[in-house]
Structure 1
């Protein structure tokens, strides 16, 4: 028997066939292929704002009365008028209503216009180019 001539298989013996198995290994890697940045810009513009302003004032009216009364009375209202009684004691120990102070409310409405600064933000999306510069992405 020589090494160059292997013996012929015996038909009676079982034949052993070698089995080869291939294995696949898949791997991933992170690679930057581009970049995006978002900038938020704040813009300011003026708008005209018109607003009605309401003011209220009080007119003081002093009304001399000079009437003798038996007892004091708390302030009262007559329609839209608040009446505040003012008393004075005299030597005879009688109560005299000296005067009434009448407070009238007056309302005025005026129109007021003012320029008001308003801020608005907008986002700018940009993509980095191959040369390193940034180009705005169409937001439409």
Structure 2
């Protein structure tokens, strides 16, 4: 470096270097880029429901007995039959089983069909279009 060149630094002079610091600021912002809506639709449909109608009745059977007994007895069951004793006092003051009433249950079943109204819901998902209208999104 020659003394005649004014742009050359003087070795005797201190050199100043600038110190630079960069700062980064990161942030977020919310921007709407689209919209979805979900509607739940309730649909009704009729369906045939088959259910047997069960009916129970009692058959009364009177069985004459005429048997003397020492003391009365409470009603009792013989299998599915309820036996209800009926007593009568006679003049001698002895107890005679006059008759038994036997009650038999009979059950009948008749097929029955009736239409009932059932409801089912389905969800419809729609996306807002650029023109502001709504279009259903494919379920697949």
Q: Per the shorter chain, which TM-score range?
A: 0.7 to 0.9
Within the alignment, does 1:46 sit opposite 2:52 as a pair?
no
**Residue number in structure 1 paired with 2:3:** none
**TM-score, structure 2 as length reference:** 0.84
Q: What are the residue-to-residue correspondences of 1:29-68 with 2, within 5 Å?
A: 29-68=29-68
Q: Which residue of 1 aligns with 2:117?
A: 117
Per-residue deviation, residues 14-39 of structure 1 (Å, max 9, x unmatched): 42200112222122111111110001
- Within a 5 Å distance, the mapping from 1:26-105 to structure 2 comes to 26-105=26-105
Shift >4 Å, 4+ stretches: none
Match of 1:3 in 2: none
The structural deviation recorded for 1:93 is 2.2
**Structure 2 CA distance, aligned partners of 1:22 and 1:78?**
103
1:25 match: 25
Q: Distance in 1 between matches of 2:90 and 2:129?
A: 99
Determine if the alignment matches structure 1 residue 137 to structure 2 residue 137. yes
Cα deviations across residues 13-67 of structure 1 (Å, max 9, x unaligned)?
Answer: 4422001122221221111111100011111101111122332211112223232
How many residue pairs were aligned? 135
